[in-house]
Amino acid sequence: MTENKNILIINTGQENNQLLFDIFSELRANDFNFYLLGKRNRNYNLFKLTKKIYLGPELKNNFNIFLFCLIAPLFWLRGFYTLLLFLKERKIKTIVCCYWNEKIIFSSLAKILRLKIIWLEYPDTLYGESPRLLLFFYKLLSRRAIITVLNEITKTQLKRLGIKNQIILAPLGIKLNKFSRQDSIFSGLAKIDKENYFRKYFTVGAIVNSGQANQVENLFWAVKKCLTVINNLQLIIVGDPEERKKLTWLVKKLEIDSLVWFVGEAAVNEKDINLQKWLDSFDVFCLTCQRATLFDLHISLRAMATGLAIIGPRNQGFEDLITENKNGLLIESNNSDILAGEIINLFKNKRLKHTLGKNALEAINQNHKISRSASYFAGLFS
């Protein structure tokens, strides 16, 4: 085993990054060893060693940035000591940073210790809305890093900031596992036999993460408008969106509570065995996010691999996966009239729905297999 296959991942945030962990897991078969510095999560078995570290408050406002700058020397010294231990014991040659704090602290350390440093940019980072001081540090330290992005819109944002070094777009891929299925109280809804099931219902589905309540409301209004045409419509919301009580009240106000099902928080887990069951039960899959996150990109890939027709927001980071009117539909955000029109169109035009789903599955097989992503990251890490 060569030294450059020992990779240190520094991740102190809360981002749901199952998509990346699956890729790293695939690389373990090629003798890569991963070590984690940061917060433990349910994927800790992926790492040969994990160590907790705190690197200050999340840098979302000027006060937190000021506080971080005051105590940054302490974080820098702690990071230097921890990194030296990893170098001595594990012979690390490459480190991957995911958040602002990590990039600021460890980029200078990587230069001192002659390590390769990779910045992994999350797709929902709004650089244009970030504090100027933070962007100053980012641009200054970025000269040392290899910047890797997960969609084209992030690459465009960074170029507008004046980042002059190379920005690499990483291909995304997923494992096409066959998930086992378990019965639950909702098993009557999530049938596996599609033909018999869809004779009774036309099912619109959404899988939501935290912070998507406004987009779920938009979907409710669209569903209400669809009822004039689709009398056997039902909507399944998988996950536990914020403001659940408010959404439940809105469903009752719109008089659609008899056809809307909320499936709890446990089902939104990306590796949950029930997730594929829900995807199999949908006719149409609707993205309810304002902007693509790692979670949403992963769920989109899973929906495409199921052969679903997808409706998502335009210019929000999904264009790398969804080719408009070929393997999915991209529409204006926050417009329930357009969303309702597209759902009705897919209901009436079964051939279009089938074609979109078929092309989505072909896109997964051609461009988004996990082996392709793993091959890219193997070259990046080596």
Token output for 44: 């800790």
**Is residue 265 in some structural domain?**
yes
Say if residue 210 is in the same domain as residue 157.
Answer: no
User: Are residues 247 and 129 part of one domain?
Assistant: no
Q: Is the same domain home to 205 and 347?
A: yes
Which CATH number do you get for residue 259?
A: 3.40.50.2000
Q: Is pLDDT above 80 for 122? A: yes
Domain boundary residue among 105, 135, 170? 170
* DSSP structural state of residue 327: T
Q: Is the pLDDT of residue 166 over 90?
A: no
Q: What is the mean pLDDT of the chain?
A: 85
Please indicate, yes or no, whether residues 135 and 257 belong to a single structural domain of this protein.
no
Query: Do residues 362 and 217 both lie within one domain?
Result: yes
pLDDT one-digit tens code per residue, 346-380: 999 999 999 999 999 999 999 999 999 999 999 99
User: What are the tens digits of pLDDT across the range 311-326?
Assistant: 999 999 999 999 988 9
Q: Would you say residue 178 has pLDDT above 50? A: no
Residue 131: which pLDDT band, with cuts at 50, 70 and 90? confident
Is residue 149 one of the residues assigned to a domain?
yes
- List the domain range (segments joined by +) for residue 286: 194-367
Q: What is the CA radius of gyration of the chain?
A: 22
Confirm whether 176 is domain-assigned.
no
Question: Higher pLDDT residue, 341 or 250?
Answer: 341
Does any domain span residue 184? no
Q: Is residue 374 part of a domain?
A: no
What distance in Å separates the CA atoms of residue 213 and residue 219, rounded to the nearest whole number? Answer: 10
Q: Which of 1-15, 63-77, 143-157, 277-291 has the lowest mean pLDDT?
A: 1-15
Domain check: are 46 and 98 in the same one? yes
Same domain flag for 166 and 202:
no
- pLDDT tens track for 196-250: 444 478 999 999 876 666 788 999 999 999 999 999 999 999 886 667 778 888 8
Residues 218 and 145 in one domain: no
Q: Please tell me the predicted confidence (pLDDT) of residue 15.
A: 64
Same domain, 201 and 329: yes
Last residue of a domain, one of 138, 170, 202: 170
Q: How confident is the model at residue 284 (pLDDT cuts 50, 70, 90)?
A: very high
* Residue 373 located in a structural domain: no
Burial class (CB in 10 A: 0-12, 13-18, 19+), 200: exposed
The SS3 assignment for 37 reads strand
176's tokens: 């096409």
pTM above 0.85, yes or no: yes
Q: What is the pLDDT of residue 378?
A: 93
Q: Which two structure tokens, joined as six digits, stand for 217?
A: 């409301």
Residue 309 within any structural domain of the chain: yes
The answer to whether residues 82 and 205 belong to one domain is no
- φ, ψ of residue 173 to 5 degrees: the values are -150, 160
Asked whether residue 28 falls in the same domain as residue 83, the answer is: yes
Residue 348 placed within a domain: yes
Q: End-to-end alpha-carbon separation of the chain, Å? A: 12
| Among candidate residues 170, 203, 226, the one where a domain is terminated | 170
Give the per-residue pLDDT at 42. Answer: 64
Residues 55 and 161 in one domain: yes
Question: Domain tally for the chain?
Answer: 2
Neighbours of 162 (CB within 10 A): 9
| pLDDT at 194 exceeding the cut of 60 | no
